[in-house]
Chain A
Amino acid sequence: KQEVTQIPAALSVPEGENLVLNCSFTDSAIYNLQWFRQDPGKGLTSLLLIQSSQREQTSGRLNASLDKSSGRSTLYIAASQPGDSATYLCAVSTGANNLFFGTGTRLTVIP
């Protein structure tokens, strides 16, 4: 069964810093990988989707990379802002579109 791990579990950075969140998965036979953001008590907001054939995707200050063969993805956030504070989840999609989620990284950006 696919297992998804996210490190670190929590991260605090001062405003303006660049940061990297990590996601690893055990089975490289994936269709895609999605990064989500979750604010406390809210649902998940899709940030980026990387297809299995792609190496990276960018949206604004966010850049996600995928190394399928090694089972790793990173989410890079440039020039962090207090509004970026949230929990970030990665999820991999396998056959029949089943999603496997990591446990998330709780990010705090300190003004």
Chain B
Amino acid sequence: EADIYQTPRYLVIGTGKKITLECSQTMGHDKMYWYQQDPGMELHLIHYSYGVNSTEKGDLSSESTVSRIRTEHFPLTLESARPSHTSQYLCASSAYRTGPNTEAFFGQGTRLTVV
């Protein structure tokens, strides 16, 4: 079982609110990712990090921001939630080394609904 946790699992929030989705892993992984996935659709990479103080934007433009102050923690923040942000957000991690044995592990996801 992967040791990567996301909270909350479900969140319903009003438009304009600021929210932070939490992601923590206890595997000591350097690389962490955030994906966005609409129901029945493919995953889109929105942010990733190579390690502490590293954050990069992914393939899909997103109004969210991330921070990486500690290795184990990679929170995602929406300053002003909108209905278009309604989606499932998945966090993942992997050991950062360019080799063939780097397996990625995913959290259970946060399903966000903005009303």
Question: Footprint of B on A, CB under 8 Å?
Answer: 31-32, 34, 36, 41-46, 49, 51-53, 89, 91, 93, 95-99, 101-104, 106
Contact = CB atoms under 8 A, between A and B. Distances in A.
A46 B104 contact: yes
Contacts of A32: 100-103
A71 B24 CA distance: 34
A42 B100 contact: no
Interface of B: 2, 6, 31, 33, 39-43, 45, 48, 50, 88, 90, 92, 94, 96-109, 111
B108 A43 contact: yes
Nearest to A6: B42
A64 B7 CA distance: 32
Nearest to B48: A98
B42 A101 contact: yes
A106 B41 CA distance: 11
Nearest to A101: B43
Nearest to B43: A101
Given A45-B2, A99-B92, 17 more contacts: A32-B100, A36-B106, A41-B109, A42-B109, A43-B109, A46-B2, A49-B101, A51-B100, A52-B100, A93-B102, A93-B104, A95-B98, A97-B94, A97-B102, A97-B104, A99-B45, A104-B42
6 contacts: A34-B103, A34-B104, A43-B109, A44-B90, A45-B2, A91-B104
B102 A53 contact: no
Nearest to A94: B98
Contacts of A43: 6, 90, 106-109
Contacts of B48: 98
Contacts of A102: 42
Closest 7 pairs between A and B when the two form their complex, measured CB to CB? A51-B100, A44-B106, A43-B108, A43-B106, A43-B109, A103-B42, A31-B100
